[in-house]
Structure 1
Amino acid sequence: MTEADGALGRRQAARLGLAALLAAGCAPAPGPAPLGREEAAALLGRRAAALRERDPGAWTATSTSGTGPGSLWARLAEVPLADWAYQVTGVRADSAAATVEATLRHRLRGEDPAPATARRLLDLVRREGRWRVRAERAAPGAAGLLWDQGTVHARRGSWGLVLGTGSAEEAGQFARLAERAVPAADGAWGGDWPRRVVVLVPGSLAGTAALLGGGPDTYRGVAAVTTGSPAPRTPADRIVVNPEAYGELDGRGRQFVLTHEAVHVATRAATGPATPLWLSEGFADRAAHRAAPRPLAAAAPALAAAVARGEVPRALPDDAAFTFEGDTGGLDRAYEGGWLACRLLADRWGDDRLRAFYRAVGTRTEETAFREVLGTTREEFTAAWRTYLRERLGRAPAV
């Protein structure tokens, strides 16, 4: 190698070294890492603690919306929360945004013996180097929560709790109905139950469906639904109102519906998979009718009309008869038939035996309960019920 060749080699090596240094200096610095599960859990833990403790500063540190009107913080201001906690189940993230899947466990103070759960999605963004929650909503296919729909007003008393997204005046109206419904339910059932109800009042049929996890058509025409579980250590039952159907009722009808649903809360622990709907719905209707008596034919118009046509039902209504599929006449006859079956039971065997029969059906079979509690059979009772319909609906006595 000549001296010229050596000089050329040294100059090439220098250029390559300089190029490497320049390339390294111009490469973009690595960005912040995407949100991880542990970091997400820590953030949601701080968010939950801020809400439980009503600490606005701590809440603002975890949220882009702060505590202003319309924020989740403001929507929950009147809700008596005893607990609120998230369990992260999944994270999808890049360096600037993330979606966190979580199970929310929340408990209403003085009402829930155990937390209620809800599947949630939380949208997060990175701002000024810190992650914050931008929005929270129901996960796809999951039921929503009342405060997803707007600011919640609360009214509570010895009878329980009303939560609604309408006006404070509307919440007060439902509170007065519940105050009368709970004693009526207790008088009908007695026994061991909390003697409290939780009533949720969304602002629309769509809101009702969202709380129940179904489509609006499922609940159209249904004034209220009670949800819950008979297992121990579960959240309190929720009476969910459909404001559109409920709003079409007169004062007596509104009281009737809430009393009926309160009875479902009272009987929940004794209601099992074997309990037929003619019994559970009929028992609830009997309590509601006794709290607001009317002449029998006026209280059972669909069945009275059928009996007048000579169309006395051949059998007690089966569970399918209680589904709303557009035939309101058939649905009305099912409810009225179940009510009159329970009325016959009480008339012939007494209220204590009616309650004992209800409890027995929940743990045994219907046929066994007829035999062991009432000393009869389902067939014999059905025949007596058909005779009862012919006799009683023909002269319309007072309830």
Structure 2
Amino acid sequence: MNYKIDEKGFYGKFGGAYIPEMLHSNVMELQENYLAITQTEEFQTEFRSLLKHYTGRPSPLYWAKRLSEKYGTKIYLKREDLNHTGAHKINNTIGQILLAQKLGKTRIIAETGAGQHGVATATVCALMGLECIVYMGEVDIERQKPNVFRMKMLGAEVRPATSGSKTLKDATNEAIRDWINNPVDTFYIIGSVVGPHPYPDMVARFQSVISREMKEQLQEYEGRSNPDRIIACVGGGSNAAGAFYHYLDDEDVTLVAVEAGGEGIHSGRSAATSILGTEGIIHGSKTLLMQTKDGQIIEPHSISAGLDYPGIGPLHAHLITTGRAEVVSIEDGEAVNAAIELSRLEGIIPALESSHALAALDYLTLDKDESTIICLSGRGDKDLQTYMKYLNHE
């Protein structure tokens, strides 16, 4: 079984570029140039230099001793929360801003849900002196105020998406409309492994630094490169794509994709796409999608703004439908409890997205001799308001 993208931009039957004619030239420009540019020694040297000296990579692989003792197994945390801007998103935005510059683009647009991708995009635009416009759902603007302030502090314009559920899906719609209207000077930095080809592959490649480092770091701990299991949360799924990337063909490594179960998978307020979804097209690619029988998108729900998306990246759709990745769905309350547990056992306050991955430990059969790596995709500063509400009700 092949888990990498093919020459037409598909992972098995998922992926591709289903786009309006007005976006054809933009997407073709990327398809024809992204590998030729990003695989040059010059690009890689600049990319890796910024990851090291600006982002602060490599991020540590931390043996969580007390968490391991509680679950009776060896648990390591890949500390993407320690990156500059507080999440894995910066890995991808640095790669894409360098590509945008090579293509002569002067105006950057992005979409954001939890705000972490928006902050990371605003950060690299400030670094490179480029105009930055970030689209964000009105609901997410309200529940992620600290990140909205960060984007504005960095000089970005935050434009609210006021249609639909006023969350990530709607912000993405607005960003695509902008791109259609400004095809020549504008580069769209997509925040996850979603969208038309080549975005899913491009973002996965930029995020693959996560698993490349994991291989080296586990070798130092255990004298081997492969853990028994990798757990990562999946909304669109860029942190999971990065954590899984160098292990895709190592089938002795179990891959666990953790989705947002919301208030319950069958409650009508969930984002468990792999269970509730069917094949469909969203934002330019064929994937698993929460939709009605006549193709209307079902509004997702998650306590976590970063997992509140009705689809998943086509790579993850392929991994899940072929059985390469296992899926666990975590409800809102379980994620918050997992965040409190990590905070009190290890002194690390995780993002709500990462908390879903942590909560999956309760659903897995774990052996004392096994090693599990959890991708801690972001830190919890942005979610303190949500955690405070929950703790006040304890």
TM-score calculated relative to the size of structure 1: 0.24
Work out which of the two has the higher radius of gyration on C-alpha atoms and give 1 or 2.
1
Higher relative contact order (CA 8 A, sep 6+): 2
TM-score calculated relative to the size of structure 2: 0.25
